[in-house]
Amino acid sequence: MAERIVNASTGAAAEEHAATADADHERLSVRVVQHAPIPLDASFECKSGELLALTGPSGSGKSTLLRCIAGLERGAVGHIECAREVWLDSPLRVNARPQQRSVGLVFQQYALFPHMTALENVEAALGHRPRQVRGPRARELLASVHLAGLEHRRPGELSGGQQQRVAMARALARDPKVLLLDEPFAAVDRVTRQKLYRELAELRRTLAMPIVLVTHDLDEAAMLADSMCILHRGRTLQLGTPQEVMTRPVDALVARLVDLPNVFDGVVRARDAAGPHTLIGWNDVTLQAAHAQSFAPGARVAWTIPVSGIVLHRRDRPSRGERENPVFGSVETCLALGDDTTIGIRVEGASNALLTLRVPTHVARRNGIAPGVRAGVSLLADAIHLMPWTADREA
């Protein structure tokens, strides 16, 4: 395949870009198809200043997709454009080499040169700048990631978190148009990881570029990302904000991939066109759900509710809120993990379906929650989300 790079930022267009600094013009746009070695059929967009999390099970193609963006995977076809530079366009026979793509890449294992100091590792990425400015710029970048004073230490003399910071400074040394992070926090302990989360959040404020983070950690994605892309077997299943994806999945498969424990089958019994609710049947139980225009009465559906949408009834004093979709059953599991307790209830009238909720541990104790105890909960109507029913939900 003939290789060239197309730069659309020329003439009057470049002047317009400089004047407007429109984040949409600086976006990363990806549409990639690949059959081997790991199949891909993925697409997403990420605007300048945004952080997008690519998440999904192991082997779903997250890291491979990152390598396609960086030009390290040469078998992919499709279209990749960043800051109005076309890096891949198969019909036009465009496939820019890695060195032609302005990419900052942080690997999971950091890939630092062990014989070089932190300063030399960063300077090695500054070959595009005049020699006299490389040292001062490398020091500036190391200071920006809180490594001032450690410039002359080699990677073996640095902690895992410090090595990660060097790798980040080196990635930024290329003055990239996009920053790609391949599970950069996986190799450090929890305390260090929390510090690095805060530092990345602070650093983002100064980075006018798209950032793509590969992670298998859903909590990490929800905490750091503006948008989340769910990959499964190389395919993009859903793209949206973390809140949308994790509470309004497009189907039962995505619900399971984002670890929603409560996914059930139901039937639409009635739909109030003028009202706020759709009635669904859950075996012998009728529930009010948020109005769902796309599902007609009689339609078979899947539905889910996050644990945050389930309210445990107080055993000492009922409240008005307990009138909203009350269901009852026997506590089957009760697992206290620190401040939170996860409870599993076999629901009466719902073919003994297991409903999972989470409450503060002191609330579980106050209400005498234990295996074998009968308990009641309310399912908040606005938290119930309907999805198309499918027979195959394997994740």
Tokens 């190389």, located at residue: 234
Q: For residue 280, how many other CB atoms are within 10 A of its CB?
A: 25
Give me the pLDDT at residue 18, please: 46
pLDDT of residue 351: 84
Instruction: Please tell me which residue, 83 or 7, carries the higher pLDDT value.
Output: 83
Spell out the residues 6+ positions from residue 333 whose beta carbon is closer than 8 angstroms to its own: 342, 343, 344, 371
Percent above pLDDT 70 for the chain: 90
pLDDT tens per residue across span 257-302: 999 999 999 999 987 666 678 999 999 999 999 888 889 999 999 9
pTM, entire model: 0.86
Number of Cβ within 10 Å of residue 220's Cβ equals: 18
The pLDDT-based confidence of 205 (bands split at 50, 70, 90) is confident
* Residue 321 pLDDT greater than 80, yes or no: no
pLDDT digits (tens, 9 = 90+) for 119-161: 999 999 998 999 999 999 999 999 999 999 999 999 999 998 9
d(CA 343, CA 9): 57
Whole-angstrom Cα Rg for the chain: 25
Q: Which CATH architecture has domain 254-388?
A: Beta Barrel (2.40)
The CATH superfamily holding the domain 6-251 is P-loop containing nucleotide triphosphate hydrolases (3.40.50.300)
* CA distances (Å), origin 75, targets 64, 98, 105, 236: 11, 13, 20, 19
Which is more confident, 122 or 393?
122
Of 86, 120, 125, residue with least CA distance to 105? 125
Picking from 91-100, 268-277, 375-384, which range would have the lowest pLDDT averaged per residue? 268-277
- Strand 235-240 and strand 227-232: the pairing is antiparallel
- Rounded CA gap, 309 and 130, in Å? 58
Tens of pLDDT, residues 40-70: 999 999 999 999 999 999 999 999 999 999 9
What pLDDT was estimated at residue 353? 92
- Sorted by sequence, the CB contacts under 8 Å of residue 226 that are 6+ apart come out as 50, 51, 52, 241
pLDDT > 80? residue 19? no
**SS3 state at 273:** coil
pLDDT at position 277? 85
The set of residues, in sequence order, having a beta carbon less than 8 Å from that of 355 and lying 6+ positions away, is 262, 310, 327, 329, 344, 345, 346, 347, 377
Enumerate the domain spans of the chain. 6-251, 254-388
Residue for token pair 């859950």: 282
User: Which amino acid does the sequence have at 307?
Assistant: V
Buried b (16+ CB within 10 A) or exposed e, 359-388: beeeebeebebeeeeebbbbbbbebbbbbe
